[in-house]
Chains A and B, each alone.
Chain A
Amino acid sequence: MATRAFQRLPTAPAGRILALRLVAIALSLCIIAGVLALSGHSPVMLAELILRSTLGSRFGLEDLMLFMCPLLLTGAAVTVCGTIGLWNIGAEGQFYAGAIAATGVALGLHGPVLVMLPLMTIAGILGGMAWITVPTLARAYAGVNEIITTLLLNFIASLLTYYLTTGPWRDRISGAQVSTQRLSVSIPEMWGIVHWGFPVAIMIVVGLALILSRTRWGYEICIGGANPEAARYAGIPVRLRIISVMLLSGGLAGLAGMFEVAGTVHRLQGGMANNFGYLGIVVAVLARGSCLNVIPAALLMALILDSGIVMQTQQLSASVILAITGLILFMIAIGDELAHYRPVATTPAKGKAS
């Protein structure tokens, strides 16, 4: 009779997940340090430099918060979609759509800031929602895989941004490439270059956590994600919930685009989404379906992005960051699975082994 040393549990305890994730991140950092050492950089010096210029300086902290702002929202966008069991891989495209809509309002209308900012916010949210409409309806009514439809729209959004910033909306004033002119309206700054979008994003994430855990709607979403058949049997209109959650998700990503365009970049630019949509997926994975966890997860991701800037000054390509993020994501995926296993005391062959 063979005795098994490990048993797989249907759910993994949070403590073990956290421990294994720390191991996963440490292991990733070791691999990265190894690769850096092999390519002739000193990992210790680099780490010291990164810590000093991210957490140890005012500019570093401001950059950190600016990076966190869109990551909070795109991370929340992927997280809310995940509660009903769907993947929104298109936050990048919805981000662009929100940024485009907000820019359209800013370029087309003129008025006092107090009127313009709410209008741009609404436009941003609606832009993001519009961008996820087709995948939403296809998913809800025809069961079409949302991963691929949301993702394909990213490329279309990026091409549309390119078209607008080189065509009808191109900068005719300073002649900047692939960019609109500087927008006349911007979100006021609150601390250094950090704008008010940052606290608003935090509040939105906290508010979402409350809605998902304290309202009937949030409860129905969670049931719909955990067991769609049971939800349908219990009389929950799963289709409508899918539609509302996906639209909310798109709206959040669109809002991220609006904040970025009105608070940080101040113009619509090609490539301005800076992978925030894709990194939102990583944030959501780190947050494990809890909106409150999105805050520390976004902080970690922002820290990684911030160190990317430092690495660029050390003649390391910025794209290394994407590879590093991928490595960490890979390790965490494996760690999360391993957390399901519990060591089982092996009983001697005598008596009944269960």
Chain B
Amino acid sequence: MIMLLTGMLATAVLAGGVLALAALGEVLAERVGVTNLGVEGLMALGAVTAVMTVSSVHSPWVGLLVAIMVGAVGGMVFAFGAVVMRANQVLCGLATTFMGLGLSTALGHSYAGQPVETTFGHVSIPLLSSLPIIGPALFGQNILIIPIYLLLPLAVHFIMFRTRHGLNMRAVGENPAAADAAGIPVMAMRFWYVTLGGAMAGMAGGYLTLTYVPVWSEGMVAGRGWIALALVIFAGYRPIIVTLSALLFGLVTALSFVGQAHNWPIDPAFLNMLPYIGTMAFIIVPVVVWHRMRRVMAAPAALAQPYYRDVR
């Protein structure tokens, strides 16, 4: 039982990391009032460029860095349309996803199916990794687990809710006109946070191919970007909750692995549906069951609305 739990948690932490990174990036973008539906495409681009980089440079850090930069550039392209040109955010996001998925497949054509040799190896942090159950999961896997689950969400939470800059940032998402009147640079704020969100989506893609599934294949992102978007809504746009819910989703994924490993009498296709069905349930059930949730977990008031200074 302990063995099973330890194994499941380890898989959950590993799988949830992809979602945690992408969803945390999306929290940043949505808090300043921009819905970036391009996460899926940016993740695919990050995943494929990481594979391409490590196949010639042989350093996972360089691979991850390239994935982050590619994600940032993709985020800038999206932000150029959705923030600078103030075009429809849904369309720009979908277009970014199409471009990302199409380009990544075209780029990764000759890398498809080859195992990635250079990945982030196992590290075990002394003492901490020998804790029962959570030790091996959090401190006995790759080095990225700690920044993803502890450092980044805490930092984002601190900046967002404990600093003046965070207050400004949330003001831009809630009421850009008032923020503008108070002298906060609305456009710059939106542009750079969307870019940062894109960089984190790219990093999520890089993390996916450099730790969790070390091989590139078409369609390997498999809706993780969309699940991340759903998690942001589920978590009420809060950085720490979003990370915890990513872990919860990692558990759902781990459940389908355990099912396949133990030969449960369910077809793997149905086990693979679990994350998607789980996501559906998680964004529908809470609002149905607990009506107050809708107000507590409400989206930023100006989400998905372009800001025009002249028609204020």
Contacts and interface: CB of A to CB of B under 8 A. Distances in A.
Q: Which of A143, A147, A322: most chain B Cβ within 10 A?
A: A322
Interface in A324-341: 324-327, 329-330, 332-334, 336-338
Contacts of A285: 91
B106 A152 contact: no
Contacts of B288: 138, 141-142
Contact of A323 (B85, B106, B272): B106
Interface in B217-247: 218, 222-223, 226-227, 229-230, 233
Nearest to A328: B95
B267 A330 contact: no
Chain B contact residues, majority secondary structure: helix
Interface in B280-307: 280, 283-284, 287-288, 294, 306
- Do most interface residues of chain A lie in helix, strand or loop, or is the interface mixed? helix
Contacts of B103: 323
Given A144-B284, A319-B102, A319-B105, A153 B276 contact: yes
A148 interface: yes
Residue among B37, B86, B98, B310 with the highest chain A CB neighbour number at 10 A? B98
A216 interface: no
A323 B233 contact: no
Nearest to A318: B105
B90 interface: yes
A145 B100 CA distance: 23
Contacts of B310: 4, 7-8
Interface string B256-292: 0000000000010110110011011001100110000
A130 interface: no
Interface string B77-109: 100010001111011101111111111011001
A282 to B, nearest CB: 8
Contacts of A278: 94, 98
Interface of B: 37, 41, 77, 81, 85-88, 90-92, 94-103, 105-106, 109, 218, 222-223, 226-227, 229-230, 233, 267, 269-270, 272-273, 276-277, 279-280, 283-284, 287-288, 294, 306, 308, 310-311
